[in-house]
Structure 1
């Protein structure tokens, strides 16, 4: 498995990355997820007046087949911005940069400790792949 996993970011078990800057968290989906989801359009109808708790649904990714995969916030706080109209090709060009989904003003900084390091996230992905039947992994 050779997905690029930047070391300076933190990761959730929902395959999201977080970059923290001055009390804000820039959140996106990982390269692993963008490859699995293939073609999609982010549908993030953010309620900017609402306080979101960690693991609350904030939107969905609409897949090419029309299915929806929820977008979960890995951190508690108010969403202050969303990258509206983001597509899979946008994310493919710059997964960990301009391919971000939303920005949250972090209200519970201690929640960052629950997020995975790059090494922990790599091990998590590998454990999931190893649990698949051999014919699926090939």
Structure 2
């Protein structure tokens, strides 16, 4: 593992508005489709393949430790606690450093008492972009 990454290219600034205008127009003309559109978008967000987080070895002041970098902005999401799991109901929970397990390649988010928590995707809160777990990693 290395400490450097090649950041992912991002969409042009304000590109989301070009995409959302036709969706808003469709809902305005056919409000009966609003929930179907929401369900479809939710499913696409859940099924999308996002750039994977990158496990790295970080050397800082002579100390080397494991980290996990965001492919978009390069921030160490593990040690800075900048990784959230976004819930289908727009709730999120932050994954703390002690919930990463490099030996077993897993993360174990603490969902508190949220029995109804339904994870939609992972989000780097350093840049507010969706990411996936590193290759071969799973959630416990």
Fold similarity call, TM over 0.5: no
In which range does the TM-score fall when normalised by the shorter chain?
under 0.3
Structure showing greater Rg: 2
Q: TM-score, normalised by structure 1?
A: 0.26
